Amino acid sequence: MPTIFKRIIDKEIPAQIVHEDELCVAFHDVAPQAPTHVLVIPKKELVNLAAASGEDQALLGHMLLIAKNVAEQLGLTNGYRTVINCGRDGGQSVDHLHIHILGGRALHWPPG
């Protein structure tokens, strides 16, 4: 069964998309953990960062640059946090690689 993110990529589920290109999609999280909470996902189905290989190097770099550009586009001028959860113990809840962009308030450390 396709993940919710695959269904968003395939336009089966609506999302508030802020960026889309041939490699990835960025959209607002439906359960935001900060005033601004956007996810950047690859269109390639990668379960998580641990599943990535050398052939994914350009894609991973592209996703990070898109995260930076989206943060700028959304006016996160005072800073933001990017998070990639990997596996159940890492807090990953959807088995499709994604970068969280969190901002719009002071984010404390450690995160949890």
**pLDDT tens sequence across 7-37:** 999 999 999 999 999 999 999 999 999 999 9
65 found inside a domain: yes
Q: Can 98 be counted among the known catalytic residues? A: yes
Token couple for 63: 């996703």
52 found inside a domain: yes
Q: Would you say residue 4 has pLDDT above 80?
A: yes
Q: How confident is the model at residue 1 (pLDDT cuts 50, 70, 90)?
A: confident
Check 37, 98, 100, 108 and give the catalytic one: 98
Average pLDDT of span 77-96: 96
Q: Report the chain's mean pLDDT, rounded to a whole number.
A: 96
26 found inside a domain: yes
Tell me the three state secondary structure of residue 49. Answer: helix
pLDDT of residue 15: 98
pLDDT of residue 112: 58
Q: Supply the pTM of this predicted model.
A: 0.95
24 found inside a domain: yes
Domain count of the chain? 1
List, in order, residues 6 or more apart from 42 with CB less than 8 Å away. 23, 24, 59, 63, 97
pLDDT of residue 105: 96
Residue tagged 């336009």 (tokens):
11
Range of 50's domain? 4-103
The span from the CA of 26 to the CA of 20, in Å, is 6
Residue 74 or 109, more confident: 74
DSSP 69: H
Q: What is the CATH number for 74?
A: 3.30.428.10
The span from the CA of 65 to the CA of 70, in Å, is 9
Sign of the torsion formed by the C-alpha atoms of 99, 100, 106 and 112:
negative
